[in-house]
Chain A
Amino acid sequence: MSKKLETAHAGTLESSDAFVRVIPINEKGIVIELESSVEEIYGDAIRALILESANAMKVDGVKLIVQDKGALDYVIKARVQTAILRATGESEPDWSMLS
């Protein structure tokens, strides 16, 4: 079940952080665009983390543009999920899905 989404963003471009943009698209699935200084080594793991974080928010038909500035895994998770929450316009996620 997919939620109606608007364009939204979260995070910063500061070191140890990530900046995430959410753009609704007219097709099914989650498209990830990643830019990271550690892409060569951790790119696949970061993409998997982004996908898992987005799936927990139960969204579909969305493009996630992530600029990673050397963020820890939970920072990326938090930024992706905040951006998606903002895109849904809801005030609170289903916390039980995010633990």
Chain B
Amino acid sequence: MKQKLRRSMLFVPGSNTGMVCNAFIYKPDTVMFDLEDSVALSEKDSARMMVFHALQHFTYKDIETAVRVNPLDTPFGLLDLEAVIRAGVDIVRLPKTDTVEDVLAMEREIERIEINIGTTKKTMLLAAIESALGVVNAVDIARSSKRMMGIALGAEDFVRDLHTQRTKEGHELMAARNQILLAARAAKIGAFDSIFSDVKDKEGFMHEVDLIKGLGFDGKSLINPNQIPWLHNAFAPSQKNINWAIEVLEAAKDAKERGLGVISLDGKMVDAPVILRAEWIMDLARASGVLGEEQ
């Protein structure tokens, strides 16, 4: 199955009208409207209504959308879900996911709403893990629902729970990042890193991106559109990798045309995972603007 690119997930406060209207212009892989922490209690209703209408607007038809809803144990969680599922959001981001039950409760409500409105769309789930308990339960959370498309680290709350703070080196997040990545890969879903909040510190941001890309993360949540090109450039494959991918795909095409079951390239066997990897590199290259659409 072809994987969707999700290098950049741009957080957009639902109460910030300017950002809601303009976020699509910056072309993040996913726009993630926020109804939770960035929205004041007094504006929860207006942000919900704004996001409900934005999701249905043509400017968001060709871009993947996610909404971070409020937890179900607040007065806002269920109201958020009713609005965003009806508006056709692609992904619901669960905040503060500590246990499998948090996921199942959300899944039950989503299913109920989908049945009520008679949609065939299956809204996906993205669980944000923001506590020590969530990290310990990450494997079970990642496997808890067929709707789960990924798990994400919410580092700001997590470091508070650990009784520490974020550093540029990121040692305090190492265990959580590794655990979340392993859990995601074991469940064959995406793994997404946390925001980098100092929007002026490009060097620090790039250091963190190199780190999480090297670990194997698919992408990262962002809070500022300026970070999108930095991130996409860092995820762009090298010319050497692109050349290798082109050779693999040409060898695979050639073998298929000649009816050969086994493909070899430079004496090495090329099997399905290698072809998938080559396709992935080409997708990244196209999305990064390194290649034309036709290549």
Which residues in A have some Cβ–Cβ distance to B below 8 Å?
Answer: 10-12, 14-17, 71-72, 74-75, 77-79, 81-82, 85-86, 91-93, 95-96, 98-99
Contacts and interface: CB of A to CB of B under 8 A. Distances in A.
B82 A95 contact: yes
Interface stretch (B51-59, B219-227, B272-280): B51-59
B117 interface: yes
A74 B54 contact: yes
Give the interface centre of A72, A78, A85 by most chain B CB atoms within 10 Å: A78
Interface string B10-48: 000000011011000000000000000000000001100
Contacts of A85: 45, 49
A72 B21 contact: yes
A96 B117 contact: yes
Given A16-B21, A95-B82, A11 B53 contact: no
Interface of B: 17-18, 20-21, 45-46, 49-50, 52-54, 56-57, 75, 79, 82-83, 86-87, 117
A96 B56 CA distance: 13
B70 to A, nearest CB: 13
A98 B20 CA distance: 19
Contacts of A86: 45
Contacts of B49: 78, 81-82, 85, 93
Contacts of A92: 79, 82
A74 B53 contact: yes
Contacts of A15: 18
Contacts of A72: 21, 57
A34 B20 CA distance: 23
A4 to B, nearest CB: 18
A53 B79 CA distance: 20
B56 A16 contact: no
B48 to A, nearest CB: 9
